[in-house]
Structure 1
Amino acid sequence: MIKVLVVEDDPQLVRALRINLEARTFEVETASDGKAALRLTFASKPDVIVLDLGLPDIDGVDVIKEVRKTRGVPILVLSARHTSEEKIQALDAGADDYVTKPFSMDELLARLRAAARRGEASAPSPDISVVTTEDFTVDLIAKKVRRGSRSVRLTPTEWHLLEILITNPGRLVSQRKLLLEVWGPTYSEHTNYLRVYMAQLRRKLEADPSHPRYLITEPGMGYRFEG
């Protein structure tokens, strides 16, 4: 049974989430503030955390940072904060996904199931050196990409972008994080660079670049690799 820690200070929303999650056989624990959330995270070891950012004692972004110091548990943010800057701040702190209030319960449950699957799949992988999809294979050690029998030539920048995404499978990587890691702090606002290079990667790797299956855009937020 998947254990979910719901961190939310709205009692009505907590009740609705508990009813819906337990009806789908999730085990649910709740915390109404940041301190309780951190205590339960380390004491109960949940499989997924659903986290509101607007907590009464500690800002949710700071909760994410504290959790990320020692634990890789998937964190799904559920918040009324809706600007791109606020979303990117949470993602850069280490959140895996972001759902804006008001939300569809069905969408939240789907994202929660996906986060739980990623948590199970990504727990332990320092030894993985080859990532294989139905359309291409990436050798992280040799830094080579193949589509079927042919080699795909990537520029150093394309490779760096791809490497970041595929080593965070299923995880949303913010635009700012990609820009900082690939181009450096001077280019942290140059999102047009990402659009150009992601389009190039899709042309080289996707069967249908206009409808990507692997290199997914989350508008205004970032990108994710779905293997």
Structure 2
Amino acid sequence: MVCITRNILVKDRFYGQHVKLEGYIAVLRIMSEVETDFTNYTLVLGNVIGSTNMTLKHISESRPSVPKFFNYTGLVNSVPTFLLVGGFNGGRLQTFVIETAIAGTDKWVEQLRFSEKDRTFLQKDILTFIFNITGLWPNSYDVRVRVGNDIDWIPDHVAPKIHFTITSDDEEMHSSPVAIIVGITLGVLIFITVIVVVVVLTRKLKLSGGKKRQEINEM
């Protein structure tokens, strides 16, 4: 941050009269802006008589910055889980889009979309999100985060991207509760059916044996 001043002839109107005075121009230059630079700046002018001041608010109007951190944290309850720490939003509400592609294909599929204020994934820490991606089959995947606001989106080539793999063992662990319930139900039904068949055959054999004994007695 640099403040530059230079002499200048100032034209103004005092008490109904046009006057020319020697004055200064102050220029505040902010190089490589960061989030903390977007705040209020107050200029104070004074002399032996008194002072005056003026406050300006420096507002950002740009696309968001690249997220600060993105990582695959592993399986949580058999589901791939990720940690994301967002960056500066550019002065506007930013949106995160999570996309996956089979490794090496570059065919991206949107999996999640949420804003920086979405409490579904937002943690207590500012701009820290934890989310998971469901419905993926065993394979090697790339996952990336695209970020944008109503001004623009970050270029795809700078979007953070990581690689992870789901093995067949992971997929077996990832079986849905519905599938498990259906499997158990089918198993129970098969067991009951076998018992019923055994009972029916046993009764038939008993009836058949009884008839034969009756025929022998009659003879």
Q: TM-score range by the shorter chain?
A: under 0.3
User: Which one has a larger percent helix, Structure 1 or Structure 2?
Assistant: 1
Kindly name which structure, 1 or 2, has the bigger radius of gyration based on alpha carbons: 2
TM-score by length of 2: 0.21
